[in-house]
Structure 1
Amino acid sequence: MKLDSSISAVVTGGASGIGEAVARRLAASGVKVAIFDFNEERGEAIAAELGGVFCKVDVTSEEAVDAGLEKARAAIGQERILVNCAGTGNAHKTASRAKQTGEIKHFPLSEFEKIIQINLIGSFRCAAKSAAGMLSLEGMEDGERGVIVNISSVAAQDGQIGQAAYSASKAGVVGMTLPMARDLMNEGVRVNTIMPGLINTPLMNGLPDNVKEALAASVPFPKRLGEPDEIASVVELMVTNGYFNGESVRLDGAIRMAPR
């Protein structure tokens, strides 16, 4: 797909981190971008800067996603690109014993469900609804109607202690990539996924410097944190290379996460 002003995109989680980098990179190529996010102040500011539109969207709400897509399409047209960056995580052991009291407890099931709802079901909700919209478009070169890119995590394969919910959600995103691509193959819609490693996002910036330095040193090469725009550059490749379909790709400096 050639990127220019005739193309519209929706980026979930587009108000910060990887999502913001993706929105900026697509806009730099002329694409009209709709940002879906919770952070209204930041999202509105970025959308205004990029000449796009902000939609306050909770990806766990079907009504909110429908309203966001309606607003985005009215402002910039039916999207040919969807990038699912919205996501979150938590940390609880499956079951554990408190050191001081000996109290035994398990992973709060409501917290497990929350992560699945946001990271996995939220991604599929946006993908399914966006794909349905793409099917209404005329095919471009090679009959292509659109592209969906999901952001997963290396935790899909290398889940650490306390990441049962997060890893399950991200593995689910990887697991649905090929079936979705096959579902949509006769309609000219491609689906791919990126599994980022340790990326220098606002979440990472909240850690102490010594912790960030240790994490960077754990990357085989280059020994640094990845930058959000490095993920965005692979999103751009997946969108523009028409033969890129049904793939889940690690971008991680060759890291394999240790148990903790």
Structure 2
Amino acid sequence: MKLEGMTALVTGAASGLGAATAAMLAGRGVQVLGVDLQRSIEAAGEQAEGIRLVAADVTSESEVSAALAALDGLPPLRLVVNCAGIAPAQRILSSKGVHDLETFQRTLNINLVGTFNVMRLAAEHMSALEPVDESGQRGVVVNTASVAAYEGQIGQIAYAASKGGVVAMGITAARDLARNGIRVNTVAPGIVHTPLLEALGEEVNASLAAAVPFPARLARPDEFAQLVAMIAEHDYLNGETIRMDGALRMGPK
């Protein structure tokens, strides 16, 4: 599917992987409707041409529906990239006590339920579009998981559970939406060099990079964006989860 001349919906678009994806798509001639929390949008500042950020909580049906209503007047929505998420760290039992239930529930609600909420509402929108090719393709959804879905580390019980759910949704979502001409794929990044990691300092970043077999460095957000573009353009990729991790397999800690 050609990227040029379409609209893409990107969640978590004000920073990190979402911001890199929005910038890449806009540079490829895509109109980007970015969704993020209001405080994140304010912190992001002015956006590049072709990117419009709207405030919405991905877990809210009404707010995501309102964001989709902002598509009026834009080219057809053909691509959805779910990047919004949180990554709290807490052991089941620690010196501070038992893992609180609210943190676990909130993590699943944002990372898993939020991904599902955006996917279902966007799929409903895309299903009404005219196909772009003879196979009946109407659009593509790319969800973001993590290598923690497979090798969650100590303290990642909530995050790993939420991202494992995103991986598990992939094949079923692809099968559910096949009759609507919508492909669904998932990316499971390893350690990506985001501002959050950079704030940990050079020593920590070097240690993390040394654990990656090859290339022995942290992934770049633009490499995630590049993979999103490849998935969108490769019409036979469907129901897949692609690890982007430099052959990294996470240890316990």
TM-score (norm 1): 0.93
Once the 2 structures are TM-superposed, how far is the Cα of residue 26 of structure 1 from its aligned partner? 1.1
Number of the residue aligned with 1:85: 83
Q: Answer whether contact 1:35 1:43 (CA < 8 A) is retained.
A: no
Whether contact under 8 Å (1:52, 1:76) holds in the other structure is no
> Does 1:4 pair with 2:29?
no
Which residue of 2 is the match for residue 152 of structure 1?
145
Matches within 5 A, 1:51-62: 51-62=50-61
Displacement of 1:42 in angstroms is: 4.5
The one of 155, 178, 181 equivalent to 1:162 is 155
Q: Which residue of 2 aligns with 1:121?
A: 113
Aligned residue type for 2:139: G
Could you give the per-residue CA deviations for residues 89-109 of structure 1, whole angstroms, max 9, x where no partner exists?
Answer: 11111123x2xxxx7x21100
Q: Secondary structure at the match of 1:11?
A: strand
1:20 aligns with 2:19: yes
Pick closer, same or farther for the CA change 1:44–1:135 going to 2, 3 Å: farther
1:65-119 CA distances to partner (integer Å, 9 max, x unpaired)?
1111112x125244111000000111111123x2xxxx7x211000000000000
Q: Which residue of 1 aligns with 2:28?
A: 29
The superposition leaves residues 126-158 of structure 1 with CA deviations (integer Å, 9 ceiling, x where unpaired) of 000000000010111121100000011000001
2:209 and 2:217 in contact (8 A); partners too = yes
Letter in 2 for 1:28: G
Cα distance in 1 between the residues matched to 2:41 and 2:217: 31
Residue in 2 that maps onto 1:186? 179
The letter for the 1-side match of 2:126 is M
Report the equivalent of 1:108: 100
Q: 1:207 aligns with which of 200, 212, 217?
A: 200
Amino acid at match of 2:198: N
The residue number in structure 2 matching 1:224 is 217
Hey, what does 2:166 align to over in structure 1?
173
Q: Distance in 2 between the 1:60 and 1:135 partners? A: 21
After TM superposition, the runs of 4+ consecutive aligned structure 1 residues lying more than 6 A away are: none
What letter matches 2:221 in structure 1? P
1:135 to 115, 127, 134: 127
Question: Unmatched 5+ residue regions in structure 2?
Answer: none
2:217, 2:113 → 1: CA distance? 32
Distance 1:33 1:227, change over 3 A: same
Amino-acid identity (%):
45
User: With structure 2 as the length reference, what TM-score do the two structures score?
Assistant: 0.96
Total equivalences in the alignment:
250
Kept in 2: contact 1:152–1:171 (CA 8 A): yes
Partner of 2:247: 254
- Structure 2 residue 64 is the aligned partner of structure 1 residue 65: yes
SS in 2 for 1:143: coil
The amino acid that maps onto 2:129 is: L
SS in 1 for 2:141: strand
- The alignment partner of 1:50 has SS state of coil
3-state SS in 2 of match to 1:34: strand
Find the counterpart in structure 2 of residue 40 from structure 1: 41
d(CA) in 1 for partners of 2:45, 2:64 = 17
Partner SS for 2:159: helix
Contact 2:41 2:55 in 1 (8 A): yes
Distance 2:119 2:219 in 1: 26
- Taking the aligned partners of 1:140 and 1:223, their CA distance within structure 2 comes to 40
Report the alpha carbon displacement of residue 16 of structure 1 after superposing the two structures with TM.
Answer: 1.1
Q: Could you tell me how far apart the structure 2 residues matched to 1:69 and 1:202 are?
A: 29
Q: CA deviation at 1:41?
A: 2.2
1:239 is aligned, of 232, 235, 245, to: 232
**Alpha-carbon distance in structure 2 between the residues aligned to 1:188 and 1:44:** 36
Other structure's SS at 2:173 match: helix
Runs of 5+ unmatched residues, structure 1: none
